[in-house]
């Protein structure tokens, strides 16, 4: 497929800042990779081109497409990464200038929660989780603890700000950062250190930012600091798909671009290569109700296709039954229709339950997007804690998990005494192990067990720092697992042998995954034979948290997808059911909270995202009665249904007519089948 005129303009604009308004399905990734090729053609070295996106999956796809276009040799040196991975790279190289040791730890969400509970002196996980969300939002707005305390609006926020201060003190003591710090600390580095700022600006001759509408305030400032006065960047995004305001993303970043970069060139991509015209007309009609930052209107030359269907359902069960019937009907029409061609999308996670029940009853396999990740499994978290401890022995959360997994006779009482001792002398738990004064609080066997653990960690750290290449790395890790008796630990901790075996298989997969990243494998890529870059186990362990946080291990399966609208962004399916399109659900409204114009606009953008996931058919279902807490209330169709302006297309489906049509189809199939049975054998 050749580039259209708008895509060509975006690819060939090299002389200054550029905003590509990439509507849904308009080929934005294609534009980014072709622009990379054009920059290389203009003489820029691959290592001087940065393409930044939000997930490892998106970065991997971009890297593969770039490789196919520019060849493996050039693609190998391109700086294609997530924002967080770029932050890790900057801090590994220059973190000492913002107070970090070289081997700092990156805490995952569970670790952060644990530290927050400790900092706030609470056992209430829900309260700690609220602090976590609030602190994350503040960090994404560029606020530190002092600024957050000054900005606090009520007592709850003032408490959260005080907890934030204690939390940051603990992170400093642990030589650890959370995911938000991976963006904010590089920004601090660039703002405070002119030499570092000049170095990093020289590093990147052109920066491309994908999904620009999802950036938060700190990510915007980081990009601005990296491009400097040259302002050689390409931002690719869509103001109509800005749906992550709840986690700090701000549509204001789009508004700021033309103000702060008056020389900005804006290029809208309006041709959609995904959806039929009926679907796009509905999407355009809905989003037209929002105020516009930039004008654009999607169009398609894929034909009208089927009209968008609106179905009225009695309640949630009836809605799920109709969704299943719709899937079965489309599959029964013949052709190469797979289960993976279908998605049921909804606003909130709780809506999935009844669809799961009905799909199971119909024996239709499905997956729930956003279910438990491979990396969230307890056995994988255990091993990650050990790896993190090797990188940074001052990582207290990793220490506590590693020292108790598998069990080695070190109980809570011993760890409590060790913790009090470490807190008193302001050292990490690991450092406290070898203090000459520790015997004043711990005696005999407890000391011996702790020292044995400390020696075990030190020995493994040494070996991990001197072992590189996939084969040797795997041998090291399997030997270590045998030494600590981890397989036996799994079998001892599970009643079911089958479950224990499954968990051990996960461990083996993880070992392979780590080993592969240690490189040293010979690959033949496009006629180019090369050894993959060798890394030590310790080097791989340094980036383990960020790799895992953004990893998506969804193998391609022929199953129906159930997903929230937020999780569905960036994906597409031939057939989509958009469920629960009712006031209170979409747009979502909780309790007595006000529906501000800003919130309504974001909910409308969410509806727009849902509509534009569909390629061939879209069914929108609304409830006549719906559950609200323990009550059943009258269901009011969402205002967004009227905004779709479907009446002209006659899209509203009469259930009686549908039943008549289905009966006719079944009768025709039965007649055809009976006729076929009468035929003589060939």
Q: Are strands 560-564 and 342-346 parallel, antiparallel or unpaired?
A: parallel
The reply to whether 5 belongs to the active site is no
Distance between CA atoms of 145 and 519, rounded to whole angstroms?
41
The reply to whether 613 belongs to the active site is yes
Q: Are 514 and 543 in contact (CB under 8 A)?
A: no
Q: Which residue's structure tokens are 């601090």?
A: 188
7, 28, 347, 542: the catalytic one is 28
Q: Which residues contact 431 (CB under 8 A, 6 or more apart)?
A: 393, 394, 422
Distance between CA atoms of 5 and 114, rounded to whole angstroms?
53
Count of H-run helices and E-run strands, the chain: 30, 18
The reply to whether 211 belongs to the active site is yes
The reply to whether 28 belongs to the active site is yes
29, 250, 461, 561: the catalytic one is 29
Encoding tokens for residue 634?
């009258």
111, 211, 214, 319: the catalytic one is 211
Q: Are 346 and 626 in contact (CB under 8 A)?
A: no
281, 605, 613, 626: the catalytic one is 613
> Residue 458's CB: how many other CB atoms inside 10 A?
14
Distance between CA atoms of 534 and 531, rounded to whole angstroms?
8
End-to-end CA distance of the chain: 45
Distance of CA 188 to the CA centre of its chain: 25
The reply to whether 596 belongs to the active site is no
Which of 32, 398, 403 lies closest to 206, judged by CA?
Answer: 32
The reply to whether 132 belongs to the active site is no
Q: Are strands 233-237 and 206-209 parallel, antiparallel or unpaired?
A: parallel
111, 178, 180, 210: the catalytic one is 210
Measured in degrees and rounded to the nearest 5, phi and psi for residue 652 equal -75, 125
> Residue 48's CB: how many other CB atoms inside 10 A?
18
Q: Which residue's structure tokens are 């998106």?
A: 58
Q: Are strands 528-531 and 522-525 parallel, antiparallel or unpaired?
A: antiparallel
134, 175, 234, 241: the catalytic one is 241
Return the active site residues: 28-29, 210-211, 241, 613
């Amino acid at each position: 497929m050749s580039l259209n005129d708008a895509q060509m303009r975006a690819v060939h604009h090299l002389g200054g800042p550029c905003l590509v308004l990439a509507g849904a399905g308009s080929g934005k990734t294609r534009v980014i990779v072709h622009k990379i090729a054009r920059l290389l053609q203009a003489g820029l070295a691959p290592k001087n081109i940065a393409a930044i996106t939000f997930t490892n999956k998106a970065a991997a796809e971009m890297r593969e497409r770039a490789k196919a276009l520019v060849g493996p040799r050039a693609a190998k040196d391109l700086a294609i990464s997530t924002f967080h991975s770029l932050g890790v790279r900057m801090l590994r190289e220059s973190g000492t200038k913002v107070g970090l040791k070289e081997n700092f730890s990156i805490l995952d969400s569970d670790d952060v929660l644990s530290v927050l509970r400790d900092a706030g002196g609470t056992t209430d996980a829900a309260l700690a989780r609220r602090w976590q969300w609030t602190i994350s939002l503040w960090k994404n707005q560029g606020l530190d603890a002092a600024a957050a305390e000054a900005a606090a609006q009520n007592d709850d926020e003032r408490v959260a700000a005080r907890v934030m201060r204690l939390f940051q003190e603990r992170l400093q003591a642990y030589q650890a950062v959370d995911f938000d710090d991976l963006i904010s600390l590089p920004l601090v580095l660039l703002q405070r250190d002119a030499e570092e700022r000049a170095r990093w600006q020289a590093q990147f001759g052109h920066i491309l930012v994908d999904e620009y509408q999802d950036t938060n305030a700190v990510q915007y400032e980081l990009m601005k600091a990296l491009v400097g006065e040259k302002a050689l960047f390409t931002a690719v995004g869509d103001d109509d798909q800005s749906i992550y305001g709840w986690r700090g993303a701000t549509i204001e970043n789009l508004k700021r671009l033309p103000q702060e970069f008056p020389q900005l060139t804006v290029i809208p991509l309006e041709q959609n290569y995904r959806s039929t015209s009926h679907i796009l007309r509905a999407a355009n009609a809905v989003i037209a109700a929002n105020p516009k930052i930039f004008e654009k209107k999607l169009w398609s030359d894929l034909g009208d296709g089927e009209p968008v269907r609106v179905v009225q359902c009695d309640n949630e069960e009836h809605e799920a039954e109709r969704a299943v019937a719709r899937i079965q009907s489309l599959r029964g029409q013949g052709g190469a229709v797979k289960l993976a061609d279908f998605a049921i999308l909804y606003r909130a996670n709780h809506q999935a339950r009844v669809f799961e029940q009905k799909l199971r009853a119909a024996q239709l396999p499905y997956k729930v997007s956003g279910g438990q990740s491979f990396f969230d499994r307890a056995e994988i978290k255990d091993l990650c804690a050990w790896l993190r401890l090797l990188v940074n022995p001052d990582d207290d959360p990793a220490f506590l998990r590693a020292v108790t997994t598998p069990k080695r006779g070190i109980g809570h009482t011993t760890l409590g005494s060790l913790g009090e001792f470490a807190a008193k002398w302001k050292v990490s738990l690991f450092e406290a192990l070898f203090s000459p004064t520790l015997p004043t609080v711990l005696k005999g066997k407890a000391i011996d067990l702790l020292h044995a653990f400390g020696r075990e960690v030190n020995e493994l750290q040494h070996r991990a720092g001197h072992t590189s290449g996939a084969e040797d790395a795997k041998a090291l890790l399997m030997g270590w697992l045998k030494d600590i008796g981890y397989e036996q630990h799994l079998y001892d901790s599970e009643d079911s042998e089958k479950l224990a075996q499954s968990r051990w298989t996960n461990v083996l997969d993880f070992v392979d995954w780590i080993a592969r990243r240690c490189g040293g494998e010979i690959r033949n890529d496009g006629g180019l034979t090369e050894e993959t870059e060798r890394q030590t186990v310790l080097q791989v362990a340094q980036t383990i948290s960020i790799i895992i946080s953004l990893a998506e291990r969804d193998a391609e399966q022929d199953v129906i997808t159930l997903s929230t609208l937020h999780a569905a962004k960036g994906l597409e399916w031939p057939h989509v059911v958009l469920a629960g399109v009712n006031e209170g659900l979409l747009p979502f409204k909780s309790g007595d909270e006000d529906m501000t114009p800003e919130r309504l606009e974001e909910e409308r953008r969410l509806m727009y995202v849902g509509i534009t996931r569909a390629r061939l058919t879209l069914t929108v279902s609304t409830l006549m009665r719906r559950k609200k807490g323990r009550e059943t209330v009258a269901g009011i169709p969402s205002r967004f249904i009227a905004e779709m302006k479907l009446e002209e297309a006659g899209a509203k489906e009469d259930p009686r007519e549908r039943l008549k049509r289905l009966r006719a189809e079944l009768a025709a199939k039965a007649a055809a089948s009976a006729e076929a049975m009468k035929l003589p054998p060939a």
